[in-house]
Chains A and B, each alone.
Chain A
Amino acid sequence: MNFRTDLTAELPYLRRFARALTGDPALADDLVQDCVERALVKSHLYDPTRPLRAWLYTVLRNIHVSGLRRERRAGIVKTVDDLSDPEVMLKPTQEGETLLLQVASALDRLPDQQREVMILVALEDMSYRDVAEITGVPVGTVMSRLSRARGALRELIGEGAKPSLRRVK
């Protein structure tokens, strides 16, 4: 087994995960680069009986989260942390946005913890158990975040059959 070869095969998936997490191609690739560097140095910590992708996602996710924490300490707020204020959260999507842009922008509006769970489960097809390990919370917490995220996306995008211009009452 060659760790570097296996890592190379995972690069497209790391890029997809990072793109969905950040919503920004340049930021996402910086994140993947950091992840690759850290993974190479920490490769001895990888347990080969576990899927490599889940381990790499853990590394990437932790770099991302510590970056977000830094931003918060610096007073930069990128996402709204609390869904309970619909005035702030549910900005109507722009008219003419394609469904896919709507999906990306709705995802971007989710609180961080919900977004990462949604991405890992729905986009990356990770099991609840793997998501719990990657995000460092119990499976029950994963499920409740998932449920909130699904509810919020439904509010933000609707059923997707028509451009969603639903406003909050």
Chain B
Amino acid sequence: MTEPNHNEDWSLHAYADGEIAGSEGRALDERLAEDPEARAKVEAWRRQKAWLKEAFDPVLDEPVPAQIKAALRHRRGFTLSPWAIAAALALLIIGAGAGWFANLQMSAPQAKQFADLAIEAHEIYTHENRHAVEVAASDGDHLTTWLSKRIGQKLVVPDLTARGYTFMGGRLLAAGAQPAAQLMYEDQAKRRITIFVAANQTNKETAFLVTQKDNVTACYWLDGPLGFVIAGETGREDIVSLAHLVYQSFEM
């Protein structure tokens, strides 16, 4: 019984599982009517099927646990595991402009979505000491070329030294289903701010918008082909004036 029988009648399995229809199915109906042994097999398999359903179907009526619902709401896209990078590469190959991809975008307004993602990424990576950035500022040309290629738009590194912030470097993020760049800056007091940039896949543009989460303030906007978020543990006015600087850098 445990060894597969080479003379096994596969069509009986397929019949029991509804894989066979039409004239072939009718032929099997007729055969089963005259073959009690085959009929018994099919009935036994169908009984197993019914038992399995009886044993596990009650799960369908259970409420979905909160942890799973939370996983659905919460977006944990910020990793640099190989598949995240593969995802970004796959996107490039498929072409960011492909229409089907746009269909998979979440319906939430993209600007706010970017802001939420950027704040999460800010919180994760600004607390890193040795691995705060993936490519350091010393390798700045390579960094901008690389990230521009991934995002599909020309990126620049805004100069924020006038405001006391030194550029540290940047990294590629998987922002849900699309690549995004994070640029990190630090002032003399080791306070860090981040700029998040991703392709704007809507046709919309927005004004500067401000949001706050925990003690992170973020200013975000959609402008032409790109969406921006600048985030830091600083006040609203500070962030908005930095946002102006970033905005101007990209206007040039």
Q: Which residues of A contact B (CB under 8 A)?
A: 1-4, 7-8, 11-13, 15-16, 19-20, 29, 32-33, 36-37, 40-46, 48, 83-84, 86, 99-100, 103-104, 107, 118-119, 121-123, 125, 127-128, 143-144, 146-148, 150-155, 157, 159-160
Interface stretch, picked from B83-91, B137-145, B190-198, is B83-91
Contacts of A118 in B (CB 8 A): 52
| B residues at A contact (CB < 8 Å) | 1-5, 8, 10, 13-14, 17-19, 44-45, 47-49, 51-57, 59-62, 64-65, 67-68, 71-72, 75-77, 79, 83-84, 87, 90-91, 94, 100-101, 103-104, 106-107, 174, 176-178
Given contacts A29-B67, A143-B13, contact A12 B72 (CB under 8 A): no
Name the B residues within 8 Å of A125 (CB-CB): 18
Are A100 and B68 CB-contacts (below 8 A) given A45-B90, A150-B45? no
Residue contact A7 to B103, C-beta cutoff 8 Å? no
Classify the interface of chain B: helix, strand, loop or mixed.
helix
- Cβ contact within 8 Å between A122 and B52: yes
The answer to whether A40 and B176 have CB atoms under 8 Å apart is: yes
The listed residue (B72, B79, B91) touching A4 by CB distance below 8 A is B72
What residue in chain A is nearest B63 (Cβ atoms)?
A12
Contacting residues, chain B, for A148 (C-beta < 8 A): 2, 4
Contact indicator B72/A40 (Cβ below 8 Å): yes
Besides the known contacts A15-B59, A125-B18, 5 further A-B residue pairs in the complex with CB atoms under 8 A apart: A36-B72, A42-B83, A45-B90, A48-B100, A103-B54
- Across the interface, which residues of A come within 8 angstroms of B45, CB to CB? 122, 150
Cβ–Cβ < 8 Å partners of B56 in chain A: 16, 19-20, 104, 123
The answer to whether A44 and B106 have CB atoms under 8 Å apart is no
| Shortest Cβ distance from residue A26 to the other chain B in the assembled complex, whole angstroms | 10
B10 contact set on A, CB distance < 8 A = 143, 147
Q: How far is the CA of A84 from the CA of B3 in the complex (A)?
A: 8
> Complex formed: what's the CA distance from A114 to B51 in Å?
17
Which A residues are CB-close (under 8 A) to B51? 99-100, 103, 157, 160
Contact in complex: B52, A103 (CB < 8 Å): yes
Are A12 and B60 in contact, with the CB atoms below 8 A? Answer: yes
- A42 & B87 in contact (Cβ 8 Å cutoff): yes
Q: Are B62 and A15 in contact (CB under 8 A)?
A: yes
Known: A29-B68, A44-B104, A155-B1. A20 touches B52 (CB 8 A): yes
Choose from A7, A36, A41 the contact partner of B84 (Cβ within 8 Å).
Answer: A41
**How many angstroms between the C-alpha atoms of A143 and B59 in the bound complex?**
27
Sampled A-B contacts (13; CB under 8 Å): A12-B59, A15-B59, A37-B71, A41-B79, A44-B101, A48-B104, A84-B3, A118-B52, A122-B53, A144-B4, A147-B4, A147-B10, A150-B13
From known contacts A20-B52, A84-B2, A147-B13, infer whether A43 and B177 are also in contact, taking CB-CB under 8 Å.
yes
Instruction: Name A100's closest neighbour in chain B (CB-CB).
Output: B55
How far, in angstroms, from A89 to B64 measured CA to CA in the complex? Answer: 34
Contact B2 A41 (CB under 8 A): no
Q: Are A48 and B103 in contact (CB under 8 A)?
A: yes
Q: Which residues of A lie under 8 Å from residue B77 when comparing CB positions?
A: 40-41
User: Which of these, A3, A123, A155, contacts B106 with CB under 8 Å?
Assistant: A3
Q: Is the CB of A154 within 8 A of B44?
A: yes
Q: How far is the CA of A10 from the CA of B161 in the complex (A)?
A: 50
Closest partner residue, chain B, to A126 (CB atom) = B17
